[in-house]
Every structure is written in C-alpha cells, then in structure tokens.
Amino acid sequence: MNFNKTFQNIFAKKEKPAEPKPEKQVAGLVPEDMSPLIRIEQAETRELLNAKLEEYKKRFNHMQAPEVQFDTVYKIAIVEELLKKGEVNTWVLLQELTKKYGTFDKVIFESACSVIKDYVKTGGKNVRRL
C-alpha cells in the first residue's frame, strides 16, 4: 500500500463542483435579449423591497394557477432574489422560472423586471399606478 498517495488523497483539496452553465436559449430568448442584472445599491431600498414583497405575496391568489398571475409570480421571484443576494441575474432567474413552470411570458417578465428596477432606482416614482 502506498501511504504517501493515501496521505495525499486524504488531505487533497476537494474542488467544488462547477455551477451549471446557463442555457444558451430559453423560450426563444438569448441572454442578450435580457437586462442582465438588477442590483440593490442603497439600504433604504431593502426596506422598500421588503414592503413590496409583502404586497406581492398578499396579491398572489393561491386558488389560481401561477401561469395566470405571472406578473405577481415574477415580481415575487425577482424581489426575493434581490433581498437574498443583493442582485439578480435576470437570465439565470428566467431559466429557473421557465424550468419550474414549464412556460414563460417574455413581455410580463420584462415588465416585472422594469418595475422592480424602478423601485430600486427611484423608489417607484416611474411605476404607473392602476
């Protein structure tokens, strides 16, 4: 038995498995079609986003399929990711949501991203209220 080799194997650095590479295309979109990143830059924004997350969660109707309320589903996912990591790679999030729900609505997702970006940048001053 080669003790030197066994000793090296025991104390060898174990490399983390590589993170999965993003798909090159999802639902007919390529990464260049998406706004790549939303990032929290101010502490006050975190408080605002926590309030918006609660609002979106109250708006979500558990009696309806998520697919008919994607606007709320997407906003919840974006805000949760922002609060957890401080930033969102929208391309990666798009892939995760498409895998989870089996479908994707580009217009609604881009709109949700724009709304959350505005909350991050201006506190929601440019968001149209219904």
- DSSP string covering 57-99: HHH--TTS-GGGGHHHHHHHHHHHHHHHHSEEEHHHHHHHHHH
Taking the domains of the chain in order of start, what are their residue ranges? 35-122
Q: Residue 103 above 50 pLDDT?
A: yes
The two tokens of residue 50 are 């926590």
From CA 61, how far away is CA 50, in angstroms rounded?
19
Residue % of the chain over a pLDDT of 70? 70
User: pTM of the entire structure?
Assistant: 0.71
Can you tell me whether residue 18 is helix, strand or coil? Answer: coil
Encode pLDDT of 27-52 as tens digits.
555 455 555 567 777 778 899 999 99
Task: Give the mean pLDDT of 69-94.
Answer: 93
pLDDT at residue 37, as a whole number: 64
Of 21, 20, 72, 47, whose CA–CA distance to 123 is shortest? 47
